C-alpha cells in the first residue's frame, strides 16, 4: 500500500474544520537552559483583496439599496412618481458598487456564493435599517427567519 500524502495524512498539518488544514511550521530555535527548543507556529491563508473587497462593496451597496427601496416609507405623502425618481437616483450608486463587487468577487467566489453573501448582508442591513430608521421592532419570528436564511448560507459555502 502506498503511503498517503497531503494535509489530511501529514502530521505537520493540523486539521481546521472538516476541509481546511494549516501547516505547522517550525520557527527558529529559542535559546533556553535545556538547549534549543523548536516552537510551532501556524500559518493561515491570508485573505486577499478579491476575498474582502466584495464584502465591503456589497455592504456599502446594500445601504444604498435599502434606502432606495424602503426609505420612502417614511414619506407617504410624497407622490409615487417623485419617490420612483428619487429611488432610482439612490439606486445608481448601489449598482456602481454592486457590479464591481460581483466582478471582483467572481475571481474567488462562485455566483451562488456571491448571491448568498449579498442576501445575508441585505438582511443584516435591513434589520438595522428597519429598527433604527423606520422604528419598527424586530420580533422572535424575524430572528428565527433570518437565522434559517443564515443556516442556508452556511450550507452554500460548504462546497468549497
Per-residue pLDDT tens over the stretch 14-61: 444 434 444 444 444 445 555 555 555 545 556 688 889 999 999 999
> What H or E segment, with its residue span, contains residue 84?
helix 80-105
What is the structure's pLDDT at 29?
47
β-bridge partners, 16 = 20
In 13-79, alpha helices (H): 49-70
Q: Grade residue 66 by pLDDT with cuts at 50, 70 and 90.
A: very high
Contact between 23 and 43 under an 8 Å Cβ cutoff? The reply is: yes
Q: Does 131 have pLDDT greater than 90? A: yes
What is the structure's pLDDT at 55?
95
What is the structure's pLDDT at 150?
87
What is the structure's pLDDT at 125?
95
Distance from the first to the final alpha carbon of the chain? 29
* 105-120: average pLDDT: 92
Q: Does 81 have pLDDT greater than 70? A: yes
What is the structure's pLDDT at 11?
47
Between helices 80-105 and 49-70, what is the axis angle to 10°?
170
CB neighbour burial string for 51-63, b if at least 16 within 10 angstroms, e if fewer: eebbbebbbbbbb
Positive or negative CA dihedral for 18, 23, 29, 34? positive
Instruction: For residue range 1-23, list pLDDT tens digits in order.
Output: 444 444 444 444 444 443 444 44
Please, what is the average pLDDT of the chain?
A: 79
Measured distance CA(72)–CA(128) in Å, rounded: 16
Amino acid at each position: 500500500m502506498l503511503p498517503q500524502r497531503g494535509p489530511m495524512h501529514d502530521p505537520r498539518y493540523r486539521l481546521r474544520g472538516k476541509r481546511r488544514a494549516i501547516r505547522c511550521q517550525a520557527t527558529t530555535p529559542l535559546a533556553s537552559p535545556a538547549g534549543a527548543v523548536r516552537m510551532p507556529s501556524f500559518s493561515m491563508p491570508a485573505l486577499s483583496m478579491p476575498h474582502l473587497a466584495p464584502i465591503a462593496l456589497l455592504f456599502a451597496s446594500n445601504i444604498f439599496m435599502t434606502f432606495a427601496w424602503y426609505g420612502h416609507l417614511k414619506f407617504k405623502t410624497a407622490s409615487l412618481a417623485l419617490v420612483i425618481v428619487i429611488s432610482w437616483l439612490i439606486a445608481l450608486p448601489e449598482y456602481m458598487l454592486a457590479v464591481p463587487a460581483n466582478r471582483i468577487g467572481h475571481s474567488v467566489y462562485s455566483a451562488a456564493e456571491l448571491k448568498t453573501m449579498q442576501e445575508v448582508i441585505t438582511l443584516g442591513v435591513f434589520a438595522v435599517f428597519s429598527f433604527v430608521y423606520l422604528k419598527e421592532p424586530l420580533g422572535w419570528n424575524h430572528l428565527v427567519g433570518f437565522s434559517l436564511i443564515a443556516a442556508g448560507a452556511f450550507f452554500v459555502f460548504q462546497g468549497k
